[in-house]
A = this chain, B = another copy of it.
Amino acid sequence: MKNDHIPPDWAFEFHGHRCPFMPIGYRMGRLAIEFLKVEREKDHRFFVFPEIGEGHPQTCMVDGVQAATGATYGKVLMEKTFYGKLAAIFYHPDKGAVRYSLTPDFIDTMGKFEFFAYRKKGVEPSRIPTPVAEEVINWVYAQTDDFMFKIEAKPDFKFTPVKGSFNKEKCHICGEYVFERYVRTKDGMPVCIPCSGYKR
């Protein structure tokens, strides 16, 4: 077995179904944190910018990246770039950045598995016969890192998260709390964006 980075069962449970892309993202994320010599992020100091978008397949990769790195969407450590590419930049303020992408050869070879014939017919992953899903997952596990990933150090990559604030106000219209970055003013009163009628 060439692959030491098989997702734990909980990562499949989090994701909701068994497909090859969550494990691919898990492996990418683990390799990236090893490359940058960081631990899985417990708090708020490691950032991932997946280059996927919407309206295309194989985005499931990004749930594997969340599981592997701890750079989760909820902790505001992950933001898609909407480039429609199977790649991600990983960044730690003290360690720099690296980009991992899937090689076209790997994507082409994997695309021949029966799993993708089902997907193209519109069959949802949880409805694909188990042996068909496991076949491609196990094939992915057996591939080398070199065949799967292109790795690019990104010494010039910079990212500064916005400065946080605990301040908040109650919207004068709905009465709900709004954190101050998002408080707007209407008729001289503090309001939330939806009550303001402003677009942002």
A56 touches B192 (CB 8 A): no
Stretch at the interface among A8-16, A30-38, A90-98, A133-141: A8-16
Known: A67-B14, A73-B78. A163 touches B55 (CB 8 A): yes
A104 touches B175 (CB 8 A): yes
Which residues of B lie under 8 Å from residue A114 when comparing CB positions?
Answer: none
Copies in the complex: 2
Q: Count contacts on A: residues with CB < 8 A to the other chain.
A: 77
A164 touches B55 (CB 8 A): yes
Quick one: which of A180-200 are within 8 Å of B by CB? 180-183, 192-194, 200
List 13 extra interface pairs beyond A17-B42, A60-B74, A61-B74, CB under 8 A: A10-B13, A14-B14, A15-B70, A16-B40, A55-B161, A55-B181, A63-B74, A64-B74, A73-B80, A82-B193, A83-B192, A85-B178, A102-B177
Report the 5 A-B pairs with minimum CB-CB distance, sorted nearest first.
A84-B182, A63-B74, A10-B10, A56-B179, A62-B74
